[in-house]
Chains A and B, each alone.
Chain A
């Protein structure tokens, strides 16, 4: 099946710094989403981005489908950005199965 690798596994920042999280996937995808899991375990959908670029406030994401990777950018990070960021993909063919990467744990210190 499709493989998803995220890097780095851990990231520690000072408040105000910028960061880039990467997601590599092994095959063509029908669907790619980024999620944030806060320190209390709640999972929130950030972006649906199988290709192209999107921005939402301080967060933006870019997926280069032909090269099989996606990037999540966090600018001017805040302590509330802390948590785990997951990339999840659905292979082409509409399997309705989302495969998650292992995540990047982000810690933003004040």
Chain B
């Protein structure tokens, strides 16, 4: 049981480049989400999904795209990277509803630097 797997762990991008952060979970969770963590800012929700084919925006969605074609995978795409997107990115998953107290599992994080 691998839990939530994020790749890559570290990445350096040049401004304007595109890339995809991968997230996969093997727990058959309906809920998946992406957060970014910046110093002193806590975790901020970028996008989330409550099932295959269903995605929605979080607090800071600009500059990011997502899709959910399968239950297992929830990739995060940066179409044209900007230095402001330098951050640590976390993927999370859970059974629904969150309000029922289902445990939220986080990946180990992806450190992204945009130069």
Q: Which residues of chain B are within 8 angstroms of A101 by Cβ–Cβ distance? A: 42
**B-contacting residues, A1-59, CB 8 Å:** 1, 4, 30-31, 33, 41-45, 48, 50
Roughly how many angstroms separate A99 CA and B60 CA in the complex, as a whole number? 12
A41 B109 Cβ-Cβ under 8 A: yes
CB nearest to A103 among chain B residues: B42
B98 A96 Cβ-Cβ under 8 A: yes
Which one of B41, B45, B96, B109 lies within 8 Å of A98 (CB-CB)? Answer: B45
In the assembled complex, the CB of A25 is this many whole angstroms from the nearest CB of chain B, namely 13
Q: Which residues of chain A are within 8 angstroms of B68 by Cβ–Cβ distance? A: none
In the assembled complex, the CB of A21 is this many whole angstroms from the nearest CB of chain B, namely 14
Most chain A CB atoms below 10 A, which of B58, B59, B103, B106: B106
Interface flags, B61-100, vs A, CB<8A=1, else 0: 0000000000000000000000000001010100011110
How many residues on A have C-beta within 8 angstroms of the other chain's C-beta atoms? 24
In the complex, B53 has a CB within 8 A of chain A: no
Roughly how many angstroms separate A22 CA and B40 CA in the complex, as a whole number? 17
Roughly how many angstroms separate A98 CA and B33 CA in the complex, as a whole number? 10
B104 A94 Cβ-Cβ under 8 A: no
Interface flags, A75-93, vs B, CB<8A=1, else 0: 0000000000010101000
B104 A102 Cβ-Cβ under 8 A: no
Q: Which residues of chain A are within 8 angstroms of B34 by Cβ–Cβ distance? A: none
Q: Which residues of B contact A (CB under 8 A)?
A: 31, 33, 35, 40-45, 48, 50, 58-59, 88, 90, 92, 96-99, 101, 103-106, 108-109
Q: Which residues of A contact B (CB under 8 A)?
A: 1, 4, 30-31, 33, 41-45, 48, 50, 86, 88, 90, 94, 96-103
- Given A48-B101, A94-B98, A98-B104, 13 more contacts at CB 8 Å? A1-B59, A4-B42, A33-B104, A41-B108, A42-B108, A43-B92, A90-B99, A96-B31, A96-B97, A100-B42, A100-B44, A101-B42, A102-B41
